[in-house]
Structure 1
Amino acid sequence: MSADKTAVVILAAGSSSRLGYAKQLVHFRGKMLLQHSIDAASHFQFCSNTVVVGARAHEILEHTELKIFSAVINEDWEEGMASSIRLGLKHAIDKVKDLEHIIVLLADQPFVNVQVIENLIAKHIESKSDATFCEYNGVVGVPAIFSKTNFKALEQLTADQGAKKLLKDQNFKYNTVKFDQGTIDVDTAEDVMRLKQLE
């Protein structure tokens, strides 16, 4: 698994409707949540680095240091997460024709860091499976890595389907790596309060 054939996509297009303002810009330990994901992924110098924004795109980008990342605006963000996955993957493939892997991150998991991504990559290399997900509190989810054998399935996601839809396919082979703090994300004001207590 080489960095020059691996892309990373950060999904940051949601409207944060339950919170009432952009959760991507919630501060935690001196920086905004989206910035945490960008900074962690920038450590690796992947061949393609994309942030998919949608709702409140200009506000979010105004306050974000993209570093090595390119931002693409998902005009169809109201469709749900699937549209951002499709757009991010298309942007990566357009840039790197022989792309072999894509890593998907979210903008609201404050404890995603370099070590979490390294653990995910190591497990994916070791297992040689088609996909590797993080697992937290019995839940399988992102961050995740997908090999090119899954690109077509990702391109066919619709509505608010995340990549976890693939898990329902009995022929889908995947592995997981523990990420206990992956349970901590931000959707509501109560989530923000709990996060502040962890600073």
Structure 2
Amino acid sequence: MHYDSPVILLLAAGEGSRFGGAKQLAEIAGEPMVRRSARVLMETDMPVLVVTGAYADDVEAVLDDLPLSMVRCEAWQLGMGHSLAAGVRAMAHTFPQASAVLVCLADQPLLDSVALQAMLQRHQAAPRQILASEHNGVQGPPALFPRDCFEALASLSGTHGARQLLRQEAARVELFSPPAWVDVDTPEDLQRIRAILAKSGGSLG
């Protein structure tokens, strides 16, 4: 069987407990954070599948006019592992010939398509490698997993996402360092990002 391109999985199901509410909908440069993230991912010309959960109706509403797919994780409160697993299962059904999944987070709004393209190009050159981002010694999304990881990803649970899989497969993990990595976990993080974008005129490109 011939496998096509990777599919991008955007995780946007969290409750935002540390943030204090629906951080997916927090406004950044005039639009909801989740919409900004989705638009950047779509600039890669890869299919995008968004996993919603907490605040699903509102999150889906701000994405409704974009040419992407969405799946709702009903068990989102059990943690990122559940949301990631639900997304990978839906992806395998909707895009059965996907060559890999590129996992991204809705709360990393400073990511740009150039950094993502570097990972996608590396996947084309080395299709068996796992590609992960690293910041201050911590590995995580954006992270690209080839097709032979789908079964393990689809069986994840709990709060830890794919970090255990990255450890198990360490021998074939390559690390990237995106130039603008800031997770929005708290209101203070959001203010930092707004300040960064204000200095750069609303764009890092």
TM-score, normalised to structure 1, is 0.89
Q: For the residues of structure 1 that align with 2:88 and 2:8, how far apart are their CA atoms?
A: 9
Deviation of the 1:17 alpha carbon? 1.1
Q: For the residues of structure 1 that align with 2:133 and 2:179, how far apart are their CA atoms?
A: 9
Distance 1:170 1:11, change over 3 A: closer
- 8 Å CA contact 2:18–2:186 kept in 1: the answer is yes
1:157 aligns with 2:156: yes
Q: Deviations over 1:57-116 (max 9, x none)?
A: 112222335512122111100110111111111111112222221111100101112111
Q: Deviations over 1:123-182 (max 9, x none)?
A: 333444431011223221111111011111112211112112112216651111121422
User: 1:74 — aligned with what?
Assistant: 73
1:158 is paired with a residue whose SS is coil
Q: For the residues of structure 1 that align with 2:111 and 2:137, how far apart are their CA atoms?
A: 18
User: 2:202 — aligned with what?
Assistant: none
Aligned-residue CA RMSD (Å) = 2.0
- 8 Å CA contact 1:86–1:154 kept in 2: the answer is yes
User: 1:50 — aligned with what?
Assistant: 49
Q: For the residues of structure 2 that align with 1:195 and 1:181, how far apart are their CA atoms?
A: 10
Q: List 4+ stretches of structure 1 deviating above 6 A.
A: none
User: 1:29 — aligned with what?
Assistant: 29
User: 1:11 — aligned with what?
Assistant: 11
Q: For the residues of structure 2 that align with 1:103 and 1:65, how far apart are their CA atoms?
A: 21
- 8 Å CA contact 1:82–1:162 kept in 2: the answer is yes
Q: Sequence identity, in percent?
A: 29
TM-score, normalised to structure 2, is 0.86
* Amino acid aligned to 2:186: T
- 8 Å CA contact 1:129–1:174 kept in 2: the answer is no
Q: For the residues of structure 1 that align with 2:57 and 2:29, how far apart are their CA atoms?
A: 23
* Amino acid aligned to 1:76: A
1:63 is paired with a residue whose SS is helix
1:146 is paired with a residue whose SS is strand
